[in-house]
Structure 1
Amino acid sequence: MKVLNLVTTPRPFFDSQLQSLRDLGVEVDVLPVPGRDSQEESRSITDYFEYYPQVLSEQSNNYDIIHANYGNTAPFAVFQPTRPIVITYWGSDLMGPLSAFNSSFSHVFDEVILPSPVLSEYIPNEHHVIPFDVDTKLFRPISMSESRDVLGWKDGTNYVLFPYSKSRSEKNYPLAKKIVDDINRSVNLVTISDVEHEMMPLYMNASDAVLVTSKRESGPMVVKEAALCNVPVVSTDVGFASDVLSDVKNSYVCNSETEIVNRLQDILRSGQRSDGRKHAEKWGKEAMGKRLLKVYESALSK
């Protein structure tokens, strides 16, 4: 089976998705939209105009399936001749300002995939829910002291990780800062931007807790990643956070600012880690690859 993946900007979970399929013998190629060197930048309409001829030029490679990844690539999959076509929405494409436009293409696709049941309300037609996987080898428990040595952080100091850029409004940094300011002890709130994905486990393991204060999410993936490192998480009730953390000790999903403050204080006071690593098997890429392959086979049989 040979599949062409259309994508805006490849992300770590997308790369893992490709590898899970390659491990099962599927030949996968990737055609990204040109432009945008980082998440802080935006693409121009010119970038998308340049993309369409590139998609059409790929027809000579005789792909069995065209797989659109992220809603902005939907029109390019629809308006090219190869069939069947599959789409995976990522979350922000359905929850952001282009939601109506992106979701309007869903009925044209042979198969539709969502990474979280939270997104089902945006897609009226039949679809599959296949959560993104996590690299369980990369995200693993590492000694806090060792991690802090690498990052230059001080032992004996409390660090809370806000694993996003301050500029991403939906991640709600102002709430994270207010929560840490309200805690009755000295705490360093660490934010990150454009950190190499391979470095994320060090930041997580060096932290006393990971704090998620997002307004909306289809994930968030960092909840699974931190749990796999046995790092406590305190999160607003967004995306699949409650499903992921319901069976993880010393990690909490909260419904109010006061509850977030209290839970974070409890974690810092106890100094205990979580036990999320025991869920590694169900969050790994093997399960995701097998489910994607079944979707492809279903599309080809129609």
Structure 2
Amino acid sequence: MLNLVTNTDARFYNEQLRVLAERGVHGETLAPPGTHRARESVTRRTPTDYLRFLPTVLRNSIGDYDLIHANYGLTAPMALAQLRLPVVLSLWGSDLLGEYGWLSKRCARHCDAVIVMSDAMAAELDAPCHVIPHGINLSRFSPQPKDEARDAVGWSRDAKHVLFPYPPTREVKDFPRAERVVTAAAKQVDGLVELQSVYGVPHDEMSTYYNAADVLLLPSKSEGSPNSVKEAMACNVPVVTTDVGDVAERIADVSPSHVCQSDDELVAGLVDVLSSPRRSNGRENVRDISLERMGERIHAVYESVV
């Protein structure tokens, strides 16, 4: 397996590698030169960086591989430039729904198989594809006592905490909107309400932050199948979110949780949860997207094209 990816640090990508390795799939990962990470200081790659990546891909494609897996749409042109190996393309969300969606759609027509994260993405692609959401480590993300979690992360036991698990600089996540709706909700709720932007911590520790929160807030402009929603569900943490990606389907039977269209609805959703903080039934609705199930389904796609 020759994997192409824009961000080798992506947590869900590394989980994908791990579960596939357990199924006997091994290989090498290549990334374009330059830096493209969702952190405070983001350096965007240029078209020149991707052109410089092409010879590397062509040179490596002559190795002893069975296929190329292009993870994220911007890596697809390089994967398709070689003519020896079948190509599987995974689209993660912004690569289909954002600025370069046209490129992902064009490349998808020439790939041997395409994987998307949600039915909404499949509808947007409007081409044959496999819907396989990113899986969740249900052993790592599980409920724990809220007060113990708050002590562990240094949050006040007495305040009400709204979790925003992204850097404020991630434009698509819309941190200004998060600030706006939390400020409005706090005026309608007794006690102190704090918005917690958590990022850059080891993934192993994120479960503690979810459990320390009263609610996950996702005011995103677009998503594929956001892992933060599924991880919060696995911890029985309520979710208040915009109607993006597959979240409406994912939390349809989860209570308390709210899928919202407007700022007013986001505020109302937060007020509902924060006025009477309680855990959700999310975990019982997320068991079908374990990492093991994801690995099984991706492996089946590989077998279909090799």
Taking structure 2 as the reference length, what is the TM-score of the superposition? 0.92
Aligned to 1:52: 54
- Alpha-carbon displacement from aligned partner over 1:156-209 (angstroms, at most 9, x marks no partner): 111111122222222122221121111223311111333332222122111111
Q: Which string of whole-angstrom CA distances, capped at 9 and with x for unpartnered residues, describes residues 11-50 of structure 1?
A: 1111122222112122232112232163222123343233
Percent identity, aligned pairs only, is 40
- 1:175 lines up with 2:182 in the alignment: no
Query: How many Å apart are 1:280 and its aligned residue?
Result: 4.4
The one of 6, 9, 16 equivalent to 1:8 is 6
Kindly tell me the number of residue pairs found equivalent between the two proteins: 298
Tell me by how many angstroms 1:273 deviates: 0.7
State the partner residue of 1:27. 26
Superposition deviation, residue 115 in structure 1? 1.0
CA RMSD after TM alignment: 1.7
**Structure 1 runs not aligned, ≥5 long:** none
Give me the whole-angstrom Cα distance separating, in 2, the residues matched to 1:127 and 1:7. 19
Give the alignment of 1:158-169 within 5 angstroms. 158-169=160-171
Deviations 1:46-87 (A, max 9, x none): 432332222122234210111111011001100113321111
Give the gaps of 5 or more residues in structure 2: none
Counterparts of 1:14-163 in structure 2 under 5 Å? 14-36=13-35, 38-39=37-38, 40-163=42-165
Question: Given that residues 2 and 61 in structure 2 are in contact (C-alpha distance below 8 angstroms), is that contact kept between their aligned partners in structure 1?
Answer: no
Shift in Å at residue 279 of structure 1? 3.3
Find the counterpart in structure 1 of residue 282 from structure 2.
276
Distance 2:99 2:180 in 1: 27
Per the TM alignment, residue 216 of structure 1 is displaced from its structure 2 partner at its CA by 1.4
SS in 1 for 2:208: helix
Distance in 2 (CA, whole Å) between partners of 1:19 and 1:279 is 24
Q: What SS does the aligned partner of 1:298 have? A: helix
Whether the 8 Å contact between 1:18 and 1:28 is mirrored in structure 2 is no
What's the counterpart of residue 267 of structure 2? 261
Deviation string 1:107-134 (CA, Å, 9 cap, x unpaired) is 1111111111111233232111111111
Helix, strand or coil for the counterpart of 1:64?
Answer: coil
SS in 2 for 1:105: helix
Q: Is the 8 A contact 1:91 1:119 kept in 2?
A: yes
Deviation at 1:7, TM superposition (A): 0.7
Q: Is the 8 A contact 1:218 1:240 kept in 2?
A: yes
